[in-house]
Amino acid sequence: MTFAMGLVRDDEQVAGLIVLTVYARGDVAVCGRVLQGFTLRRFAVERFIADFSGFDHRLVRGLEDVRGEVLRMTIVVSLPSHDVLERISKFLNRVVDVYKVEHTFRI
């Protein structure tokens, strides 16, 4: 008997999953704008996690000089094709008050 499970089913037609870490101004409005942008563009968001814990963002490269609280969002997105990743990156970099976007993991 095997208990192995895949991340996606064969009929889902997904080219892959990408895990993004987005650092933005510590405000619920920014979190809402990011999530709204994903839904309007019809990207398949599998998980959306917002971390309001007030972590020490000065340890993140590129955020050493940012003053105030930084919100960390983790977003898992299904990619129907590989060119969608570029569109997602462009969208996130245009959102007001987003400081940095990292492609943390790709499946």
Set out the domains of the chain in order of their start, with CATH numbers: 13-106 (3.30.70.260)
47-60 confidence digits (pLDDT tens): 999 998 888 888 88
* pLDDT number for residue 3: 45
Choose between 107 and 72: higher pLDDT. Answer: 72
Tokens 């917002």 -> residue: 50
Give the pTM. Answer: 0.80
Tokens of 34: 């990011």
Tokens of 49: 């996690």
CB atoms within 10 A of CB 85: 17
Q: How far is CA 25 from the centre of its chain?
A: 15
Integer-rounded Cα radius of gyration of the chain: 15
* pLDDT number for residue 21: 93
Provide the 3-class DSSP secondary structure of residue 11: helix
The neighbouring-strand residues paired with 47 are 76
19-42 confidence digits (pLDDT tens): 999 999 988 999 999 999 888 887
76-97 confidence digits (pLDDT tens): 998 877 778 888 888 998 998 9
Provide the 3-class DSSP secondary structure of residue 28: helix
